[in-house]
Amino acid sequence: MSLASVAGAKLLVSSSETIGSLSGGTGANGEVALGHNNLTTGDASTTTFGGTISGIAAMGGLVKQGTGVMNLDTTGVLTFDKLTANDGTLNVNSALGTGSGTAVVAVNDTAGGADDRVSN
């Protein structure tokens, strides 16, 4: 899914969803609103998402799956509770949200390979 890089473009995740890939968005233009839900995304492609991803504290998360590369490269802020990489590569180059509480970053090797990683 490619989210438009225009003001007001929003993907509202009203229940936990799985999509093939996530790309598009720049800064405040293009937002993924997780609420209390999880968004699972990723395939064998290389994608870059540059918008804002938000969730409600202690709820909601982003799960990267598939053997491809997902780049979170944004001037927008990432504010959600869980970031999980199940396969492939997840690159995070953005402002991380601030606040109190606990956030989880998990790297799970689901395909048995040695190349699963999260980088910042």
The one-digit pLDDT tens for each residue of the chain (120 residues) are 999 988 889 999 999 999 999 999 887 788 999 999 999 999 999 999 988 888 886 678 899 999 999 988 866 667 777 888 888 888 887 655 544 444 556 656 555 554 545 554
CA distance 42 to 21: 4
How many domains are there within the chain?
Answer: 1
User: Which domain, by its residues, includes 80?
Assistant: 2-119
Stated pTM of the model: 0.80
CA distance 44 to 59: 27
Backbone conformation region of residue 94, classed left if phi is above 0, alpha if psi is from -120 to 50, else beta: beta
